[in-house]
Amino acid sequence: MFPLLTTLVFLPTIGALVLMVGPKGASRWIAAIFSGVTFVLSLWLYIGPLVGGSGTAGFGSIMHPAWSESIPWVHFAIGTLQLNIDYHLGADGLSIFMLILNALLSFLAIIGSWHVSNRTREYMALLLILETGVMGVFCAFDLYLFWLFWEVELIPMFLLIAIWGGQRREYAAWKFVIYTIFGSAFMLAGIILLYFSLGAQNGAYSASFSYLASHQVAGTYSIFGISIASQLLLFLLLYLGFAIKLPMIPFHTWLPDAHTEAPTAVSVLLAGVLLKMGAYGLIRICVDFAPQGARDFALPLAVLGAINIIYGAGCSLVQRDMKKLIAYSSVSHMGYVILGVAAAIGPGATNPAFREAALTGAAIQMFSHGAVTGMLFFCVGVLYEKAHLREINAFGGLMARMPRLTWIYTFAIMASLGLPGLSGFVAEYLVYTGSFANFPAQTIIAAVTMILTAGYLLWMLKRAFYGPLNPRWAHLNDANLLEMAPLVMLGVVVLFVGVYPGFLVDLLRPSLHQIIQTMGSLPVAGR
């Protein structure tokens, strides 16, 4: 069988190598072609299982992914301790959906970076390597491999911010790296602990996802004499890394800095797929491998999610810089993912349908936020390229000069504030309806936030685009076709998901259903 996943992961890297040896003038085209081909190939992940005949059930779950490739890699033993690491890639519905999003956004990011003229070749190469790292994260089916890709993604991201960023780029890049490494150190501790605990408990050492998902750690650990449920500790260790990536308050302050300093395309990828790695890890790793721990932590998680939502919105309200405003809005919107997951794993004898609705909403929010925030960053990028400024109050009346940008920006803002018919509404509505049964107070806080969300986004729109034209900007030209292309493509996706979310739900259902079943099999209200 053709190793589609391996191809998807490494094709961008090959592209980066070709770039380095290829003609300098063609680097944009080489990057666009490699990422474009990767995107087209990634669509087969979705179409393949459908034409394979088993219908939407064919996307499979973590136990039986639709796509799987495995090669033994590192195997050795010291005494009773065995280390078994496989090169194991897999993709079920949840992975497929993020892989396609990553391929799409990487492609659009390259299109949207056409104007970059400073060290274009290196820039494009790093974007492609970043794509490889993120692809790997979303389809690694071995926990060590997952961690490896998780770290690989850091390097190009660091360089992209530190070299092509704004004025405070070094500070932002370091902050990003330190935050992430701090989290991944704990994550690594969690991974090692999980691996050896399960191995010791069952006599079989494996870091394969299907093994980890089907065997659960029991008992308690004792740290300095304090006893703690093993699963809860594992959950917390693993989650710390993901919480920083999500980002969850109070580990979010790297995000506004990184977003503000990063070049447009990097902001798009950062918001579009890198934050999703945290959400993906939360669902795929934390919940699947430590379900009881997840349930024990569900209430704090829901509270933190609700705080994320309202706190991020509040911070957005007083931002003066467009990018920073959108960065904080990301904090707020990612809170819906946290709340949705918390509701899905929460305690209480809730109807499983509510759990599944909440988890589906969280997953769609991952996709929707990626596309919508991508659009917003592209819009700001277009404006910044022309005006070299992002200060909201410095604009005014741009509608008169840039009608095209005005309407696509309005579209993106409407999608972001959850207008029905666009993808954000589907996600938020599913989260609201699914989580109210489990966490009514947190859901109400999330719902209040929709007022603030409308407030900060429309206020920004009004200040920058409405009113009489500030004569300072009388020279600006409207967005051209190249600048509009990524915006329109994302807009079509956002609209399509908003009107007919069924196809995403079908893709996700088997994966998420598996989780809901696991949660249903746990003893209810043990604590």
227 CB neighbour count, 10 Å cutoff: 9
d(CA 323, CA 141) in angstroms, rounded, equals 35
Site for other proteins in 319-338 (CB under 8 A): 319
- Cα(228)–Cα(236) distance, integer angstroms: 11
Site for other proteins in 64-123 (CB under 8 A): none
Least distance to other proteins from the beta carbon of 91, Å? 22
Any contact of residue 425 with other proteins (CB under 8 A)?
Answer: yes
The residue among 51 and 318 lying less far from other proteins, judged by its C-beta, is 318
Residue 101 one-letter amino acid: L
According to the binding rule CB under 8 A, does residue 414 interact with other proteins? yes
Q: Look up residue 256 and give its amino acid.
A: P
The whole-angstrom separation of Cα 12 and Cα 311 is 37
Give per-residue burial for 497-526: e unless 16+ CB within 10 Å, then b: bbeebeebbebbbbbbbbbbebbeeeeeee
The residue (of 96 and 426) whose beta carbon lies closer to other proteins is 426
3-state secondary structure of 316: helix
Burial environment of residue 471 by CB neighbours within 10 A (0 to 12, 13 to 18, 19 or more)? exposed
Least Cα distance to 410 among 351, 476, 462 occurs for 462
Closest distance to other proteins from the beta carbon of 1 (Å):
32
For residue 267, CA distances in Å to 169, 332, 363, 400, 446 come to 13, 16, 21, 27, 25
Interactions with other proteins, residue window 448-467 (CB under 8 A): 448, 450-452, 454-455, 458-459, 461-463, 465-467
Residue of 187, 325, 294 whose CA lies nearest to 230: 294
Considering only residues 492 to 511 of the shown chain, the ones binding other proteins according to CB under 8 A are 500-502, 505, 509
Asked if 345 touches other proteins (CB under 8 A), the answer is: no
Q: Which is nearer to other proteins, 47 or 318 (CB)?
A: 318
Is residue 37 at the binding interface for other proteins, with CB under 8 A as the rule? Answer: no
- Distance from C-alpha of 273 to C-alpha of 102, rounded to nearest angstrom: 6
For position 317 contacting other proteins by CB under 8 A, the verdict is: yes
* 474 interacts with other proteins by CB under 8 A: yes
3-class SS letters over 223-268: ECCEEEEHHHHHHHHHHHHHHHHCCCCCCCCHHHHHHHHCCHHHHH
Kindly write out the interface string for residues 234-263 of this chain, putting x where it contacts other proteins by CB under 8 A and - elsewhere.
---x------------x-xx--x-------
Among 23, 52, 420, 526, binds other proteins (CB under 8 A): 420
303 forms part of the interface with other proteins (CB under 8 A): no
Using CB under 8 A as the criterion, what x/- string covers residues 348-387 for binding other proteins? ---xxxx-xx--x---------------------------
* Smallest distance, other proteins to C-beta of residue 33, A: 29
Q: Which is nearer to other proteins, 2 or 224 (CB)?
A: 224
The answer to the question of residue 56 lying near other proteins (CB under 8 A) is: no
Judged by CB under 8 A, the chain residues 112 through 171 that form the site for other proteins are 170
Cα 329 from Cα 312, distance rounded (Å): 6
Among 219, 300, 348, 526, binds other proteins (CB under 8 A): 219
Identify whether 12 is preceded by a cis peptide bond (ω within 30 of 0).
no
Identify the residue among 55, 72, 300, 403 touching other proteins (CB under 8 A): 403
Which C-beta is closer to other proteins: that of 16 or that of 437? Answer: 437
Site string for other proteins, 476-495 (x = CB under 8 A): -xx-----------------
Query: Among residues 40, 185, 441, 482, which is the contact residue for other proteins, using CB under 8 A?
Result: 185
| DSSP for residue 422 | S
